[in-house]
A and B are shown apart, each in its own frame.
Chain A
Amino acid sequence: MSFINYLSREINCKIVYYGPGLCGKTTNLQYIYNKTNPEAKGKMISLATDTDRTLFFDFLPLALGEIRGFKTRFHLYTVPGQVFYDASRKLILKGVDGVVFVADSQIARAEANQESLENLRTNLAEQQLDLDEVPYVIQYNKRDMPSIMSVEELRAMLNPTRVPDFEAVAVNGDGVFDTLKAVAKLVLTELKRGTPK
């Protein structure tokens, strides 16, 4: 649910990074944080366990610039990927304007990707949202790992509707901003269309 403030001439949108445990959601946000000018970003918050696994969410506020005098601000969130944190994932999805599904390209994580994507669809449906109608992109992360699936295989498995998808190595930043720009653009285009209804 975007928030339009006519007084401060701001538009705020919420983007959620979703995906299986250890796929690189937090790494995406960390890279964006490290590479963004200080004036365009706020503090990054990570609610993590002692072993640096996401417990509740990571949060990064980002200003992308102005459109016709309106400042566009994006709040980026990650969900905890581990299966048993499902209740937290549902909470973070509330009011989402755009979704990035971060898939782990490694062959061994194929099933985890599918489960997580199915979980995303189910959790969105609980708040009357259809993944096929929400601004949504996919990132195939960890392209530098040795035992990975081909992009064609990943696409066939995870992207039957052919939403915009990107290869990435989030630790090096490859594909990170391409993914962010694509989802931000879809969110703004959706707002332009005059939703929500």
Chain B
Amino acid sequence: MASPQMVMYEEEFNQIRAIVDRLVRDANAQVVFIIDKNGQLIAAAGESEQIDTTSLASLTAGNIAATGGIAKILRENEFTTQFHEGERANIHIQLVGNRVILVVIFNNQTSLGLVRLRVKKATEHLNGIFEILLQKAQDPNQQTPFAEITDDDIDNLFND
């Protein structure tokens, strides 16, 4: 496989959770998401229950992928930040360590400047955590939950 598998463990998840919770408060944002570049939702904080998070994750990843494609054509490494301004909602999208995407949705109760500032700080912390996760995922001694799964288990999933 070209890219290593993403595995999320309790310790790192709690650290990520703390960062996104704090970002919601510090940036006075409505919702904060962390999504991997393939469109899988990793963590959410704020008023996320009102949003179709699975769809948002997939579309944001598509958006980042398309922007990355444009960057390549222009011989840029990556466009790491995107901002979309709406009438009521605004969305700030930040690529973290070229691995995951930090999405902040906010309204006019806060400012783009504050969001940018807080995102920058959060990005530094997140970078370190995902670096550790990557190392863990590449550790050959790390067990996957699939190690003990039998062919029968897989077959049973499809017996309807």
Of B65, B146, B154, which is in contact with the most chain A CB atoms at under 10 Å from its CB? B146
Asked if residues A196 and B4 are in contact (CB atoms below 8 Å), the reply is yes
A59 touches B55 (CB 8 A): yes
A185 touches B158 (CB 8 A): yes
Selecting from A22-30, A41-49, A142-150, A161-169, the interface stretch reads A41-49
Given contacts A64-B157, A188-B146, is CB(A1)–CB(B66) below 8 Å? Answer: no
A6 to B5, CA, bound (A): 13
Query: In residues 162-197 of chain A, which contact B (Cβ within 8 Å)?
Result: 181, 184-185, 188-189, 191-192, 194-197
Other-chain residue from A3, A70, A191, A192 in contact with B38 (beta carbon distance below 8 A):
A3
A68 interface neighbour in B13, B42, B66, B153, Cβ under 8 Å: B153
Say whether B146 contacts A45, CB under 8 Å: no
B-facing residues in A14-48 (Cβ within 8 Å): 14, 42-43, 45, 47
Chain B 28-53, CB within 8 Å of chain A: the 1/0 string?
00000000111110100000000010
How far apart are the CA atoms of A189 and B155 in the complex, in Å? 10
User: What residues of chain B lie closer than 8 Å to A191, measured between beta carbons?
Assistant: 144, 146
CB distance from B109 to the nearest CB of A (A): 28
Instruction: Compute how far the CA of A143 lies from the CA of B158 in the bound complex, rounded to whole angstroms.
Output: 25
Q: Does A57 contact B (CB under 8 A)?
A: yes
Told that A3-B38, A94-B37 touch, could you supply 7 new A-B pairs with CB distance under 8 A? A4-B144, A4-B145, A42-B54, A67-B154, A127-B2, A184-B158, A189-B151
- Measured CB to CB, the nearest residue on chain B to A185 is B154
With A45-B59, A189-B154: A3-B6 Cβ-Cβ less than 8 Å: yes
Residues of A close to B151: CB separation below 8 A: 189, 192
The reply on A128 being an interface residue by CB < 8 A is yes
Q: Any chain A CB within 8 A of the CB of B74?
A: no
Residue of A nearest to B143 (CB): A194
Separation in Å of the A131 CB from the closest CB of chain B? Answer: 13
**Cα separation A128 to B4 with both chains bound (whole Å):** 12
A interface residues, how many (CB within 8 angstroms):
47
Chain B residues with Cβ below 8 Å from A129 are 1-2
By Cβ-Cβ distance, the 7 closest A-B pairs, closest first, are: A196-B1, A95-B38, A91-B65, A128-B2, A3-B40, A5-B8, A127-B2
Given A42-B55, A75-B40, A194-B147, are A67 and B153 also a contact pair (CB < 8 Å)? Answer: yes
Q: Which of A1, A90, A91, A94 contacts B5 (CB 8 A)?
A: A1
A1 touching B1 by the CB < 8 A rule? yes
Would you give the shortest CB distance from B141 to chain A, in whole angstroms?
A: 12
Question: Are B5 and A2 in contact (CB-based, < 8 A)?
Answer: yes
B3 interface residue per 8 A CB criterion: yes
- Looking across the interface, which residue of chain B has its beta carbon closest to that of A186? B154
Flag if B158 contacts A181 (CB, 8 Å).
Answer: yes
In chain B, what residue has the closest Cβ to A57?
B62
Q: Would you give the shortest CB distance from A180 to chain B, in whole angstroms?
A: 10
A81 close to B (CB within 8 Å): no
Please measure, in the bound complex, the distance between the C-alpha atom of A33 and the C-alpha atom of B155, giving whole angstroms.
Answer: 22
Q: Is B87 an interface residue (CB 8 A)?
A: no
Contacts of B80 in A (CB 8 A): none
Given contacts A6-B8, A45-B59, A75-B58, contact A1 B69 (CB under 8 A): no
